[in-house]
Every structure is written in C-alpha cells, then in structure tokens.
A and B are shown apart, each in its own frame.
Chain A
Amino acid sequence: MPNTSTPFTGRPIPRMEDPHLIQGQGTYVSDIHFDHQWVMALVRSSHAHALIKDIRCGTAAKIPGVHAIVTASEYPDLKRRLPGMEPMAPPILAYDRVHYVGQPIVAILADSRYIAEDAADLVEIDYEPLPAITNAEIAARDENLLHPEFGTNVLEHFEKQSGDGVQALRTAHHVVNATLRMGRVSAQPMEPRALAAQYDPSSGELLVYHATQSVHRAQERIANLWGMDPEKVRVVAPEVGGGFGVKNGSYPEEALVTYLAKTLAQPVKWSGDRFEEFFGTYQEREQVHHVTLGFSQEGMIVALHDTYYQDNGAFAGGGMLVSQNTARNIPGPYRIPNLYIEGYTVMTNKVPQAPYRGAGRPQGHYIIERMLDRAADQLGWDRLELKMKNLVAPKDFPYATGIEGVTLDSGNYPRVFQDLLEELDIDAFRMRQSEARQQGIRLGLGVSNSVEISAGFGFEGVRFQLNPSGQILLTTGATNQGQGHRTALAQLAADALSIPMEQVTVIEGDTGRIARSIGTFGSRTIIMAGNAVRVAAQGFIDKTRAIAADLLEAHVDDVVFDNGQFFVKGVPSVSHDWKALADAWQSQSHPEWPTHEDYFSSSSATYGFGSHGVIIAVNPSTAAVRIERYVILHDSGRVVNPLLANGQVIGGAVQGLGSALYEEMLFGPDGEPLTTSFLDYRLPGANEMPDIEVYHRDYPAPSNPEGYKGVGEAGIIPSQAIMLSAVEDAFRDVGLRLDYAPITPGRLFKSLQERGENA
C-alpha cells in the first residue's frame, strides 16, 4: 500500500477546474439549451397573505410564442405538496391561498423568457387580502393562524437540557439577561437557481440539469413526487454558481419543471433571475433569543437559559434543521455545565427559512459570545479573560457539551486563543485605542471563539475506473458549487494511486454516474468523499492486482502495489504501471473497464475551531464601520489543499461580514418585502472588505481515518457576534449595548443617539 510521502496532498495546487472557467467555457444550467425547449416564467403572489378569488389567463394565452399557461386548477397534480417539507409544505402552485409574497401561482411556458414574461404581465389575479403575520413571537400566540388545518403557527417546539438545566441558575452568583436578535439574511449566490429538463417518452427517462447541491436528493424528491423509478430520473449538476445551502432545498420550480417536461413531453427550462432570488429563494437567520447566563463568583459559567423564536416564514422549508442546529451550537467551545434551551420554530407570512451557510452555527455562536461580552461589561470583568477561562481545555477532551451528539474531541482552544491575542498584540492596541480616543477617533476590538461541527451523518461514495492509456476516472456524487473538488479529490487519488494528478479525472454531481450520494453542503465533502477515496483506492488496487498478476504471470497473492508499480513480491525490477495495465486490458477486448466503488460513512462529527479577531475604526460622523484588521487562527484538521481551505475560510468570513454590517431582508407590516434588489440588500464589495489574515493551527480529527475537518462554514460563524463586540468596544465609554445584527450605519447612529452620543 502506498507510500509515506505525500506529493500532492497538502500542497496549494492551483485548480484543475480553472482553465475552463477563466475562458468562459464553464457550462451552467442557464447555458444549456434543449432543442425546441420551452422557457418558464412564473406569476408570483404580490400579497403576503390572501385568498385567491380568481385567476384569468385568457389574454396571456393569446400572445404568439406562448405554449402553455399552467395553474393548479387545470393541472391538479400541482396541488400536491412539495416533498421533503413535513409537516407543513406548500402546494407546488398556490390555488386558493397565498402565504408569502413571491409564492408561485401560475407558470407560463413560451419560446423565450421575454415572451413568457409578456404573458405573465397579462395574467390577472383577484386577491382578498388577509392580515399578515410578520412577528414570530406574536405568531406563536396562535391568535391568527396561517394554516388553520395545521392548528398552530408553531412548527416545532423543543427543549434541550443538560445538567440541572432549569434549577442551576439559582446557584449562580451573578446573572446576566439579554434579548438578542438577528435580522433575516439571504444567500444571494451570483448564479440564480435554475433547472432544465427533458423527458423521453419512449424510454420513460427524465434528464434534469439542475443547479443543486445534491443530485441524489433531488432525484429522490422528483422520483417520489411523480411516482417514477429513480433509475429513470437522471439529475446532473453542471457548473453551479454558488450554493451556500439554499440550492439544496425542495422548491416549487423543481417540481414544476420536471412535471411539465414529463407531462407535456416537452423540454422545459427555468433560469431564475435575481428578482426571483429575492422573492423565491429561501432565507435564514431571523431569530430572537431571551437569554440568561449565570456565573460563579470567579466568573465560571454555571448555567445558560435560552428561549428563542425562529421566524421561519410561511412553510417548513428547511428551517427546523436550522433551529435545532442553533441549539446544538450555543455552547460552542465553552464549558457550560447546565443548559436549558427552548426553541420555537414559528411560521409567519414571509419566505420560508432553509439552511444558509452556517445553518444555525452562527446563530448559536452569536448567543454565547454576545452573552459573554455582556456579562463581562456588566460585571466589570475583562472580556478576553472571561472567554479564556471558560474555554474547554485539551484535558477535558472528549468533552460532552450537554447537547446530544456534540462531543468536542480535538484541538487546543486556549492555546489558539492565546496565539490570536498575541498576534493582535492587545496591549499595544489598547494604548493605540486610548490615544486615538483623545483625538476623537474610535477604534474597537472584537474577538470570538467558535467551533465548526461538521459531518456526523451519512456517507459519500467514490468509484475508480481504469481507462485507456492509464487514465483513472474518479466518480463521486458530491456536487460542487465552487469548492474545488475536482482538484482536491484528484490530489488524494493521485497520492493513493501514485500517479500524476493529470492522470486523474474527477466526475461529480451526476446520478447517472454513481448510484448514491448525500451531496455537498454542511462542510462535509472532503471528510466524506476524501475518506471514500482512500477506501475505494484500496479496493481498486486489490481488484487491479488481478490484472497485474495476469501480466506478470504470477499468483495474485504474490503481487504487490507500491509507489505506482505492480510487481511480484521481491522482484521489483519487473513491474507494470497503470498504463501498462490499461494497455493489457485494452488488448484483451473486454467489454468493460476495471472499476471499484466504495463508500465511506460516519456518524462521528468533526470539530474544527476558529479564533477570530477584528480591529475596527468607527467614523463618528457617519457611524460607518471600517475594518482595519481581521485575523483568523483556524483549525482545519488535516488540509488537502491550503489554497482551497483558505479560500473557503476567507470567502465565508467576508460573506458573514455582509450580514454583520450591511445585509438585512426587511419586510413591511403587510409582509411586503422592502429589500428586493442589490440596491437595497447590500452585499459587501471589494472596497468594503479588508485583507484577512489566516493562520493555521491544524489538529487532525480523531473521528475519521484521514483526520479531515469541515472548513466550508468556518469563516462565517462568528461574523455577527464579533462585529457587534468590536463596535461596543469602540464605544465602551458610553456603555453602548447592541442587541441586533446587522449593525448598519443607520442603526448604529440610532443606538448612539439613544445614548445621547451624537456630537
């Protein structure tokens, strides 16, 4: 079995994907055209809560180039509920009621998007508006029900306890309370969602090009929904332009495009636009927490209570997972012996929630970090010392946090945090901060410590196949949206098989090429597929040893593989490489090429860790926050490609800073979205963001053979907490308290005004 050196793994190798992409040769769903395809546009609800009294499509149907106007009343199959969204899913097309602005009601099929939108303009819908519910805590009282048949607005209510959760607060010497909120956030990948499907009636096969994060889950949803054999549904993800969780969900457009392609035996394409990303793509983060944190006299955490409400939007979406994950992440890397957490996932008349990068980790982290800051400020302790003393230490591993299934297992949190503080040079900063304040300049410091829990469920598969001239084909069901799997997995395969990377081709995201997958989300692919590479490589080598044995005219048990060569034990001078095996195989005219498929599964999560530090300057006149320095000390476990790992961490951090400083999905009192374009919903741009420094403190994961940890969401976890922390620090002398993220300039101005601080 190979080799002790690792020529490819661990190296910052530029990506194999890139030459195509930088020449504009990448194919995304919107680039795909079926012959004679019909293009879909949707008529979406303009009311957050209303009865639909009438739908008139007559004039719309008359436009030349319009082929079909589809409503649920004419196609009753579209009254079915979206799959995978128990216990409360919408019908595919609304027909008697609408529950959020943007909910699809009518689908138009035409020769082009231009024409389809012309027809959409002419569709007339009569609504009878109903009162809209836009506050989760109020909705939870069930005075007005969104879905009377469901009986309540509360999708889920759960409690989690550990230690003496409810009673332990009584023993606390100090107690701190706060109500903390996070605004609604939208992923806004650069590529809007899209699907294109073609059905072949003679074979009964449906081919779907899908900007999805999981081809097999999509296949399962589609097959189940339309009563098809999954083998007849092929889902292919071409290049996908960013996912961040929201391309993993069950959406009406997926059901519509597949249904119409099949039922009308007509290729159908839907290429969403940015408008639809604001109205139709699931959103996340919006929660309100009522928290109490209790301490011993010496500042050790005794107990935490948190009752929170998640504003989940009008249907289940994927929001219950977010809410549960929030609870899992509240303890973070801190020792909290007694916990009582109560979560309400509540429906309101807004777009549904579904996981968005972080998926509850940022929310949980926000709570503990903000409460530690608050406690320090209120009780006269130093924030940094309070955090340090409450961190789980290596001697505590394995450390059961009190949340089921969350047991911290590796790393050295106090040491890494200490390294961060040294890197920031706290003493020098405090001096500079104090001098600056004399000049009326406000500098602030924020730090945070977060754990990234990844994987811990499911599996991923890898299949190796020997091809002509010794090329190795690696197929996996992982589904990339920019992570660089085709490079990282090639690095691993090249090492496992002792071949140059150029000899490996990675195929992913196609249900027609591999039978099972979970998909790419939740920072799991390298952990799962990476380990699968090792397992599958071993099996592949074992299989191909038989071919080598043939060539060497030896018994297979006497053949070894080492460093890319097959030879008889003890006779390394006569050896064959993969190319020789391929040539031999070819000359024998076998119908199929040697292949081996294997899966890696694990129910043990991995625990990455990050200590982040930020130094900001606040402009006192505009209340604008400028980031002077952002430092990350990061445990990524065993790193396959540092370029890719750092790209994920930095990309996630910047994305998170958007939701800390600028990004907020706002809704009016009638449930109408106020932020509906990039003009109002402000993504961070190159001029707003700093150069982020990333330093690695990598501790291999004990929970999987290769030691990988998830890294895709690490950057985004602390953003909101750390920025609020830093802004408060900048206004420590006026006792500024911030309980809401994002901290936009307007909100900061208002908070300062309320403190009488507006020179």
Chain B
Amino acid sequence: MVAINLTVNGTPHHLDVEPRWLLADVLRENLGLTGTHLGCEQGVCGACTVLLDARPVRSCLTLAVMADGAEIVTVEGLAQNGQLSAVQNAFWQEHALQCGFCTPGFLITATHFLSQNPHPTRAQIREALSGNLCRCTGYQNIVNAVERASAAPVQVAKAIASEDGN
C-alpha cells in the first residue's frame, strides 16, 4: 500500500491505496463519492472525468497514486453553499440529461471549457464536448445548456412549433 494525500472538493484526505487502484475507484469506494461514474475504463466515454489541478482528466486512466498531492474536483464539488453552479442549473433547465449516467463527466468538461472559453460558438461547444459520449440525449440539449450557461445568445432556435392536428 502507498500513502497518498488527495484534496477532494476542498477536503484533504490521507489514504492508503494499492498502486493499481484507479482514481475513479478510490473516489467512489474509499471516499464514497459515487457521482463520478465508470462507463468504459478505456478513457473514451468521458463519464469519469474529474478536474485534477484545475484540468480535466479521465479518472479511469489515472492511478490514485498518480494523483498524490493533487486537488481534485468532482461533480459533488460543483455546487457551492447549496447553490447549483450556472452549468448545473443550465443542464436542468435545458433538459440536458435523461438517465444522468454520463452527466457528471459532461458537467466537469463543460465547467472547465467555459472557464477557458467564456463565449463559445455552438460549433466550439460541440468540439469541446466531443470527448464525452451520451447515448440518451443526442447532445443537442447539452449544447443548449452550455450555451445558456455561457450567457451567449442562443443561436439556433430549438424548433418546437406546435400545431394542433385537428
């Protein structure tokens, strides 16, 4: 076992871990932070994305020992003082999640992206989200949510025109 120090969502932890334990598993099992999800353990789906020293990483491709001394932010750390973040609230309002399994990874990715690109175009948003897979939403509402959170004007009308059939 190796002794490591992790600060997670502002709280320091001292842990003994096996070198082979993935950061995702340590967060989920040792620290009970199950918001970070494992979708592939290959680094492709992005559901496990967390912030490590302010940058997104795949926690399924990071051994916990490699995160020794790092500051980690997980989805549980996005809301502050009981207040949802702008990104979280935007996901809620825009119906940007259905089953919710991929959502933590998207929230982390989007939060980081907007911190670096406060006024992105829709195309830039899609590019930035291209490393996270969703099987339920088809991405459109997620793009809408990121756009909303960036406070940029919505460029494409979400065309919902109703006509009564009778």
Q: Do chains A and B touch in the complex (CB under 8 A)?
A: yes
Interface residues of A (CB under 8 A from B): 12, 14-15, 17-19, 21-28, 30-31, 114, 187-192, 239-242, 244, 273-275, 411-412, 481-484, 635, 642-644, 646-647, 650-655, 677-679, 683, 685-687, 689, 691-700, 715
What are 12 A-B pairs with beta-carbon distances under 8 A?
A15-B95, A17-B100, A21-B97, A24-B76, A482-B136, A650-B141, A654-B137, A678-B42, A679-B42, A679-B44, A686-B134, A694-B159
> Whole-angstrom distance between the alpha carbons of A694 and B158 in the complex?
8
Bound CA–CA A114/B30 (angstroms): 14
Contact in complex: B40, A678 (CB < 8 Å):
yes
Closest CB in chain A relative to B23 CB, distance in Å: 14
Known: A274-B42, A687-B126. 18 other contacts (CB 8 A): A18-B91, A22-B84, A22-B100, A22-B103, A482-B100, A482-B136, A646-B160, A647-B141, A651-B136, A652-B138, A685-B129, A685-B139, A686-B125, A686-B142, A689-B138, A692-B138, A696-B161, A698-B164
Query: Are A23 and B98 neighbours in the complex by a CB distance under 8 Å?
Result: no
- CB closest residue in chain A, given B134: A190
Shortest B80–chain A CB gap in Å is 11
Q: Which residues of chain A are near B33, meaning CB under 8 Å?
A: 24
**With a CB–CB cut-off of 8 A, which chain A residues contact B98?**
242, 482-484, 647, 651
Tally A-B pairs: CB < 8 A: 204
CA of A686 to CA of B110, assembled, Å: 13
Flag whether B36 is at the interface (Cβ < 8 A): yes
Q: Does B45 contact A (CB under 8 A)?
A: yes
- Describe A's contact surface by its main secondary structure: loop
CB of A706 to closest CB in B, whole Å:
15
Known contacts being A189-B99, A651-B98, is A689 close to B135, with CB within 8 Å?
no
Contact B35 A24 (CB under 8 A): yes
Q: Would you call B99 and A239 a contact (CB within 8 A)?
A: yes
In contact, B40 and A677 (Cβ under 8 angstroms): yes
Contact A114 B45 (CB under 8 A): no
Min Cβ gap A679→B in Å is 6
Contacts A650-B138, A687-B130, A695-B159 given; indicate if A190 touches B101 (C-beta within 8 A).
Answer: yes
- Please report the C-alpha to C-alpha distance between residue A274 and residue B99 in the assembled complex, in whole angstroms: 17
**A647-B76 CB under 8 A given contacts A22-B92, A241-B101, A694-B160:** no
Select the residue from B122, B127, B160 with max chain A CB neighbours within 10 A: B160
Given contacts A27-B34, A650-B137, A651-B138, contact A191 B39 (CB under 8 A): yes
Contacts of B75 in A (CB 8 A): 22-24
* A699 and B165 in contact, given A22-B84, A644-B95 (Cβ under 8 angstroms): yes
In the complex, the answer to whether A683 meets B135 with C-beta atoms within 8 Å is yes
Q: How far is the CA of A700 from the CA of B97 in the complex (A)?
A: 27
Complex Cα distance, B8 from A269, in Å, reads: 27
Interface size for chain B: under 10, 10 to 19, 20 to 34, or 35 or more residues? 35 or more
0/1 interface trace, chain B 26-47, chain A, CB 8 Å (1 if under): 0010000111111111101101
Is B74's beta carbon under 8 Å from chain A?
Answer: yes
Q: Which of B102, B133, B136 has the most CB of A within 10 A?
A: B136
- Distance in Å from the Cβ of B144 to the closest Cβ of chain A? 9
Does B143 make an interface contact (CB < 8 A)?
yes
CA distance in complex: A698, B143 (Å):
26
Q: Are B88 and A23 in contact (CB under 8 A)?
A: yes
Q: Is B93 at the interface (CB under 8 A from chain A)?
A: yes
Question: In the complex, what residues of B have CB within 8 A of residue A21's CB?
Answer: 97, 100, 103
Q: State in angstroms the CA–CA spacing of A700 and B74 once bound together.
A: 44
Instruction: Indicate if the CB atoms of B95 and A244 lie closer than 8 Å.
Output: no
Give the distance in Å from the alpha carbon of A22 to the alpha carbon of B85 in the complex. Answer: 10
Does any Cβ of A come within 8 Å of B140's Cβ?
A: yes
Cβ–Cβ < 8 Å partners of B165 in chain A = 411-412, 635, 697-700
Q: Is the CB of B34 within 8 A of A24?
A: yes
Closest residue of chain B to A33 (Cβ to Cβ) is B29
CB-based contact A242/B91 at 8 Å: no
Determine whether the beta carbon of B140 is less than 8 Å from that of A189. no
A358 to chain B, nearest CB (A): 14
Cα-based distance from A244 to B158 in the complex (angstroms): 25
Q: Do A686 and B84 form a contact, CB below 8 Å, given A24-B104, A483-B98, A692-B138?
A: no
A540 to B140 Cα, complex, angstroms: 40
Nearest-CB distance from B146 to chain A (Å)?
10
Q: Are B139 and A241 in contact (CB under 8 A)?
A: no
Q: Are the CB atoms of B162 and A274 closer together than 8 Å?
A: no
CB pair A18–B92 under 8 Å, yes or no, is yes
Distance in Å: Cβ of A717 to nearest Cβ of chain B: 15
Q: Name the distance in Å between B159's Cβ and chain A's nearest Cβ.
A: 4
